[in-house]
Amino acid sequence: MSEILGRIRAELPGLRLLTDETDRESYRSDEASYLKSQLPMAVALPESADQVSAIVRLAAEHRTPIVPRGTGTGLSGASGGIEGAITVAFTRMNRILEIDRANMVAVVQPGVINADLKAAVAKEGLFYPPDPASFEMCSIGGNIGTNAGGLCCVKYGVTRDSVLGLEVVLADGSVIRTGGRNVKDVAGYALTHLFVGSQGTLGLVTEATLRLRPAPPPKATLLAFFADTDGAGDAVERITAAGLVPCTLELMDRITIRAVNDAFHLELPDAAALLLIESDLPGVAAEGELDAASAAAEAAGAVEQVRATNAMEADGLRQARRLALRAMEKLGATRMEDVGAPRSKLVELLNVINRVVAERGLNCGTFGHAGDGNLHPTFWWQRGDAEAEARVTAACEELYRAAIDLGGTVTGEHGIGVARLPFLELQRGPGAVRVMRQIKSALDPLNLLNPGRAI
C-alpha cells in the first residue's frame, strides 16, 4: 500500500491525495448506503487528465483497483469504496472548457455539476437536456457513467443522446478520444456509446463533448389527480397512444404526495396518484398539447386537474416531484429502486409494485418517469431494523423478476452497479453477458477498473 502511494506522491507532488481515515470515510458509499461499501485505501482528487492517466498507470503497475467517483449521488453502489483500492474523485475537474455556439456543443470536465452547465449554456440561449432529480448536485461524469435520464428524457432522451465525444483514460493509463463535434459520424465502432453507461468499468472519462439544443420556451404545466394508480397509468398509455410527447410526464403516488407535503410543507391534494405533465412547445401549441393531455387524463378518470398560471407556480409543482426522494429520506433508512417496463405495461408494473408492498407489509412510495415507463418505488424502514431491511431486499428482488417478466428492466437509469448485479444475466441472457465480459476483458484485462460493478 505504502509503495504505490509513495510513487503517486513522487510523480504527482501537486496532487491532493487523502489517506487520513476521517477524510476517506466521506468516500465510503454513494447514496445507496444500505449496500455498506468499504473504506478505500486512498482518495485522489486530480485536476487534469494527465494526473488521472498517471494514477491509473501506476495503479496498473501495482495491481491496485481504481474506483471513479463524481459527487457520490449515485444509487447503485457503483462509486462506493473498495478496500485496497484508490478512489479517483473528479470534483476538482469541474471546468466548462468551451461553449461552442456555432456547433451547439459544450466541452466539459467530468466534475462539472449538471445544474452549473445548464445555467452556463442558458446564458447563450442554449439547453442541455439531461436533468436527473439530483441535477443541482450530480456531476456530468457521473451522469455519463450511469447514462442518467431525468424528468425530460421522455422527449429529449437520456445522457447518451447528448454525448458526442469523450476523452477516456484506459486501464493502462493511455488516453483515447472518441467521437467529436460532428452531428453525424459513423467511422468505426461507436465507442462513445460504449463508454456511456459503463459505470467506470471500461475507462475513466476526463472530458466530454456534449450536444446542446436551442433553449425551449417556458413550460406550460398541468397536474392531474386520480383516485387510483391504475387511472394514472392508463392516462400515460392514452397520452402516448395519442402521439403526444410532453417534455415532462411524471407520476407520484399517495404515499409520495403525503411525504412531500409533510416534509416540505406543501399543499398538494391527497389523491391516490398525480401526473405532472408539461409542454415546452412554442406559443399556443403548448396549451394545445396540454389540452390534449388533459382530455386523455379525463378519459382515464382524473378527478381533478390544475394548471400553473405562471412560471413561479409551475416551478413549485415541478419541485414537488424533485423533492420526492429527499422527503422519503426523512422517514428512515431508504432504498430507491429503478424498475421499468414498456409504456403499454405501466399499469401492470404499478399493480405489481402495489401488490408486493402490500403482501410484504412494507413502507413504500412510488414516483418516477411514467412517460418512459421508469418507476422508482422507494422503501423506507427504521434504521437498524435488520429484519425489515431483509424484507425490503426480498421485495426488490421480486420486483426485478416481475419487471423482466413484463419485458422491462431492473434499472432504467441508475445502473446495475452492485445492487442489481445478480440480475443482469436474468435480464440480458448468458450470451449477451458473455459478450459484455469479453469487452471488459479486452479493455481491462487485469480487472482493475471498478471491479465487481456493472458486469
- Do the bridges between strand 42-45 and strand 86-89 make them parallel or antiparallel, or are there none, so unpaired? parallel
For the chain, residues with pLDDT lower than 50 are none
Cell of 218: 417556458
pLDDT, tens only, 301-333 = 999 999 998 888 888 888 899 999 999 999 999
| pLDDT at res. 405 | 98
What is the pLDDT at residue 316? 87
What pLDDT is attached to residue 311?
A: 86
Q: Which stretch of DSSP H or E encloses residue 380? A: strand 374-381
Compute the distance between CA of residue 134 and CA of residue 138 in angstroms, rounded to an integer.
Answer: 6
pLDDT of residue 1: 59
Q: How many Cα atoms occupy the beta-carbon half-sphere of 440 within 13 Å?
A: 20
Strand ranges (DSSP E) for 147-297? 163-169, 175-179, 204-211, 213-214, 220-226, 248-253, 273-279
pLDDT tens sequence across 391-402: 999 999 999 999
Which tens digit of pLDDT belongs to each residue from 28-66? 999 998 998 899 999 999 999 999 999 999 999 999 999
pLDDT at position 214 is: 98
pLDDT, residue 142, reads 98
Give the bridge partners for 210, in sequence order: 106, 163
Q: How far apart are the first and last CA of the chain?
A: 26
Share of the chain above pLDDT 90, in %: 96
CA torsion through residues 316, 344, 430, 336, sign: positive
Contact 290, 410 (CB under 8 A): no
Q: Are 455 and 201 in contact (CB under 8 A)?
A: yes
Give the integer Cα–Cα distance in Å for 29 and 212. 32
Give the percent of the chain with pLDDT over 70: 100
Evaluate if pTM is beyond 0.85. yes
Domains of the chain: 2-89 (3.30.43.10), 96-214 (3.30.465.10), 217-322 (3.30.70.2190)
Using CA atoms, how far residue 65 sits from 146, 168, 190, 194, 438, in Å, is 20, 17, 27, 21, 19
Contact by Cβ (8 Å): 145, 200: yes
Classify residue 166 as left (phi > 0), alpha (psi -120 to 50) or beta: beta
